[in-house]
Amino acid sequence: MERPFPTVAVVGLGTMGAGVAVAVARSGRRVIGVEAGPTQAVRALARIEASTARAVARERLTAEERTALLALIEVGDDLAAAAQADLVIEEVPEDLELKRGLFADLDRICPPETVLATGTTALSVTRIAAATARPERVLGVHFFNPVHSMKLVEVVRTVLTSPQAAEQVAELARDLGKEPVAAGDRAGFIANGLLFAYLNQAAAMFESRYATREDIDAAMRLGCGLPMGPLALLDLIGVDTARTVLEAMYEQSKDRLHAPAPILGQLVAAGLLGRKSGRGFYTYEAPGSSTPVAEEAAAAEARPAGREVRSVGVCGSGTMATGIVEVFAKAGLPVLLAARSQEKAERAKAQLAKSLERSVAKGRLTEQARDAALALVTPTGGYQDLADVDLVVEAVAEDLAVKRELFTALDRIVKPGAVLATTTSSLPVISCATATSRPQDVIGMHFFNPAPAMKLVEVVSTVLTAEDVTATVLELCAKVRKHPVECGDRAGFIVNALLFPYLNDAVRMLEEHYATVDDIDTAMKLGCGYPMGPFELLDVVGLDVSLTIEKVLHQEFREPGLAAAPLLEHLVAAGCLGRKTGRGFRDHARR
């Protein structure tokens, strides 16, 4: 079958347009580049020559390939040259009237069969198409920056776009070595539609002083495996660009979660646009630099020293409890592993021994270190043995009644001055604290699963937690080589409060038939660099667990946009809970 679009015009040769032009030329197609004027055209050609020279230096291209590629690209300032193209891709600034005017001109200049594509990231493709007499041959083709390395292309259809035109553009994307996903015409499409709502909530979290920018970013990198924290990513994208996308999203959805956080507008008004201006959420060495500089912290009262922790107790015998025991034991701390029976405790220690053995087999641990860690762990079937430990971590079932009952018992048993910590991921820490007569000694210490591998610990202080208790847990995290982030006692803490609304948005996107499970997962992995797509992650976490957390978040914040998606509730009611039942958003039993 003949390859689609042997000649492609690219109008607007900034960073994105130049990248698209080079990618198309690499496929052997002729490229007609169009800029706004002669000076801009000269600069654009120089930009293309410089980027391809860098590609040769980095061995992504040979010198011969570069020569052949440049021979396929012509750059000028006459829009009429686009009449020679089979496909025109527009990459001009994100201004609706500018794009509509351009498309009206292209419609007049180009033959009726020419396909016109907009590279918009946030504007309505339908409204752009309406400026032409050929809306069936107008669509969106959203490349991601940098074009040479980003595999994702969102092919955006309006209600009038012909399936043939969309498929031809998807085929072109595949021929460029990209992976196209089909999206409908709504602000943000798939990747940005999910990404920017999450970034907006992170900005609002920082604005409310719930956590520091460093802790928010570290929490999402270490807790979710994301390539960048949300505030650093906002600086990279550009605070002004993010605000523009969010305004477009809110205009369509009227969802308050899409309304740009006020801090974004304040930063834009002040000219603090992120890396490109040298300052945004962070300050950088110079405009355009990627290197943040340390800033002087505001004067604050010195934190008191923490309490001494010479031994710890862990309540529970499940995967999380066993993992936490392993963390403490490998750091050289004596640990009492307390379960509801001696048999359960012994079984948990046996699981710990297997985990340590796997580490030895993989060369991560010596046999001596394994034996030393195991020798520090004492299994017990009675909580009364915890009487003399300096810190207890509760890791039992995620049920508030169960946890409160345990904290009441620990209050009676454990010596005065000991720290009592819960590793809850979704329940209020204060409710555990008020089950005791010493709420000042109670704190959240939220490990992530698997605890031995995951570096993050959310340190959650209630309104009653003593400062030296917080200091104790922060010092202990450093001792066991974990990265602590501090936050207050509200639903979801940092990670789940940002992660689960994003997952819920993905489910809503699916139930609205906007995109498929595979396309949404592909978009987030290839477009945003996420280690897993939202539906892969939901199936791993468990749909029932996810639904519980969604409900807790909605109950706490009362935002309509945080209400659990009906599809998630239906799947849980049907017993489709993800990998653990063999079926969730995907059928794992057949794989």
Rounded to 5 degrees, φ, ψ at 585 are -75, -20
Beta carbons of 451 and 323 less than 8 angstroms apart: yes
Given 192, 496, 504, 546, which residue is catalytic? 496
Q: At what angle do helices 63-71 and 15-26 cross, to 10 degrees?
A: 100
- Pull the structure tokens for residue 70: 């440049």
Beta carbons of 340 and 317 less than 8 angstroms apart: yes
Catalytic-residue membership of 425: yes
DSSP state, 387?
T
Q: Where are the alpha helices (DSSP H) in 208-279?
A: 213-224, 230-237, 239-253, 262-269
- Pull the structure tokens for residue 26: 């690499």
Q: Smallest Cα–Cα separation from 102: which of 88, 87, 122?
A: 88
Q: At what angle do helices 367-375 and 319-330 cross, to 10 degrees?
A: 110
Beta carbons of 254 and 246 less than 8 angstroms apart: no
Catalytic-residue membership of 461: no
Given 425, 431, 504, 546, which residue is catalytic? 425
Owner of token pair 């034991």: 329
Q: Smallest Cα–Cα separation from 186: which of 250, 113, 275?
A: 250
Catalytic-residue membership of 124: no
Bridge partners (DSSP) of residue 4 are none
Q: At what angle do helices 495-511 and 213-224 cross, to 10 degrees?
A: 60
Given 394, 458, 536, 550, which residue is catalytic? 458
The count of other CB atoms within 10 Å of the CB of residue 286 is: 9
SS3 492: coil
Taking the C-alpha atoms of residue 143 and residue 133, their distance in angstroms, rounded to an integer, is 25
Residues catalogued as catalytic:
425, 446, 458, 496
